[in-house]
Structure 1
Amino acid sequence: MKALVCILLLLETFVFVVQQQVDGGLNENEISQQISSEDGRQNPPQTDTLRAEASTDRQQYCDLGIPDIHAALRELTATVTEQKGHIRELTATVTEQKGNIRELRVEMNKKNEEISNLTLGQEELRKENRDREIAFSASMMESGKGYIGPFTTNITLTYKNVFTNIGNAYNPITGVFTAPLKGAYMFRVSVFDLGGSTSTAYIVKNGELVVMANDVQAQDRLSSSNGVVLILEVGDVVYVRLWSNTRIYDNENNLNTFSGFLLFPLR
């Protein structure tokens, strides 16, 4: 507070002197008189002793106050400088953290993309596996029992009692299997009769005989089977034909069968 009073007094005197210099100038005696006049306004007439004491006190206030202000300013400047250093350090840290966050976001985006691609790949693989799920198995009669044949010509057998038809590539109405994709397929055929005749059936690919199941018995039962692995293109057909003048017998025990499945696809 003392320092503030001293500074205000000095400022008031300084402003007055500058104003007078602007207006026309004052000599040193006039400046001294003005300072004395200002001093008189600030301090009413006093005794010499009181005036001297007041002057001494004011001088002490000024002498004591100004150095304190300078020290405070220096301390404040040092504090501000120190805080600026902290701010720079914090700014650098924040900038570094922002960079780390950007890197993490990039990594997260990469991981998300990898997960998305993996999910799509798994879905495509599941779909591809579903497309590869091709298998069928069927027997001759849906119900009852009886003979099929003999006929004077070879005929295509229709296996109507379907056990399995994954992929729906087998048609029980026509007895024909149509390859839905290129691959290696396994096929088997079996024949049965009560004896006293010949039973012959063969697997056909696109109209050509591939393998045959055949048996001849003068009496009692007869049976035979055969199988083959075929490389099929999309649209190739496979079916079974009964040889002319031969017969087979079937009942609820499903004695005559035709089956096939995809071993693996080919490109």
Structure 2
Amino acid sequence: MQSLCCQSTSIRSEDRMKSATALLLTLCLSGALVQAETASHSDISAELGALRATVEELRLMESRLAASESKVQAQEDSVKDLRAELDVTKKELLQYKEQAEEMGKKLADGPKVAFSVALTGAVGPFNVESTLIYPKIITNIGNAYNTYTGVFTAPVRGVYFFRFNAMDDRKNNHMGAALYKNNQRVLLNYSWNHWDDHEHVSNGVVLELLQGDVVYMRLPAWYRVTDFVEHHFNIFSGFLIFSM
């Protein structure tokens, strides 16, 4: 009987030891799990923080990239506008070049008209206005000036330049000359000679003439002009600038 009691007591002690051991193991495992879980939450928080920082950095880079793309697009648009302006300028220059070439061709293929004629002595004074006839031919390309009538006749419609010089040496007298287009006086230049010396006047004008229009010089009444052999003080000149 006593042996049975001792055996029963021994079994209970072993059971208590097993229970205590199991409890201890349970507590250890629970602590390890809590520690592991705590460590796991810390790692996740750190990773989430790093991820948020990365996302913010990516957003900032995206914003900068969008701004750069906007600038690049603006520059591309500006380059396109400049290219368009350059194309327009090239077309205009090409048109001007073609016009210049056409004008040059017309001038090259058009009529050649130029003359310079001179008086050879004193003319006047007359009691009426008279046409000046310049007998000395210096140049008469195109033969548009008539040495018998003193009249230049436009061979083609165009723009012409005319110029004249006049001189006289009579003291206390008027001198000068007038330029006419058809029957209309265009200009008159004159002077009163105060001294016993050479008095000069000159002028020039650009005229648009139709084919057949005439230009000539006239000496006003009581005026005189004088030349001395080859001095050519009195010159009447003109030439075609361009035809139309």
TM superposition score normalised by structure 1: 0.49
SS in 1 for 2:108: helix
Match of 2:42 in 1: none
1:224 aligns with 2:201: yes
Structure 2: unaligned runs, 5 residues or longer: 1-103
The alignment of Structure 1 onto Structure 2 pairs a total of residues equal to 139
Aligned to 1:165: 140
Q: What is the DSSP-based 3-state SS (H/G/I as helix, E as strand, rest coil) of the residue aligned with 2:236?
A: strand
Instruction: Deviation per CA, 1:162-186: give whole Å up to 9, x if none.
Output: 1111111111111000001010000
Q: For residue 179 of structure 1, what is the aligned residue in structure 2?
A: 154
Distance in 2 (alpha carbons) for counterparts of 1:126 and 1:172: 31
Aligned CA RMSD, in angstroms, stands at: 1.8
Residue 192 of structure 2 is aligned to residue 199 of structure 1: no
Alignment counterpart, residue 242 of structure 1, candidates 219, 224, 227: 219
Equivalent residue number for residue 213 of structure 1:
189
Aligned-partner residue type, residue 155 of structure 1: S
Check 1:130–1:256 CA distance in 2 against 1; reply closer, same or farther (3 A cut). Answer: farther
CA contact (8 A) 2:167 2:176 kept: no
Which residue matches 1:152? 127
Q: Structure 1 residues 140 and 232, CA, compared in 2 at 3 Å: closer, same or farther?
A: same
Query: What TM-score, normalized by structure 2, do the two folds share?
Result: 0.54
Q: C-alpha distance in 1, partners of 2:166/2:107?
A: 35
Q: Offset at 1:195?
A: 3.4
The correspondence of residues 26-65 of structure 1 with structure 2, limited to 5 A, is none
- After TM superposition, the structure 1 stretch with the greater mean CA deviation from structure 2, 197-206 or 230-239, is 197-206
Aligned residues with identical type, % of pairs? 43
For residues 223 and 232 of structure 2, the distance between their equivalents in structure 1, rounded to whole angstroms, comes to: 19
- Which structure 2 residues correspond to residues 59-138 of structure 1 after superposition, within 5 A? 129=108, 131-138=110-117
Higher relative contact order (CA 8 A, sep 6+): 2
Residue 130 of structure 1: CA displacement? 5.1
1:260 and 2:238 aligned: yes
Secondary structure of the 2:226 match is: strand
Distance 2:142 2:174 in 1: 35
Question: By how many angstroms is 1:227 displaced?
Answer: 0.8
**Mind listing any 5+ residue stretches in structure 1 that lack a counterpart?**
1-124
Give the Cα separation in 1 of the matches to 2:155 and 2:178: 22
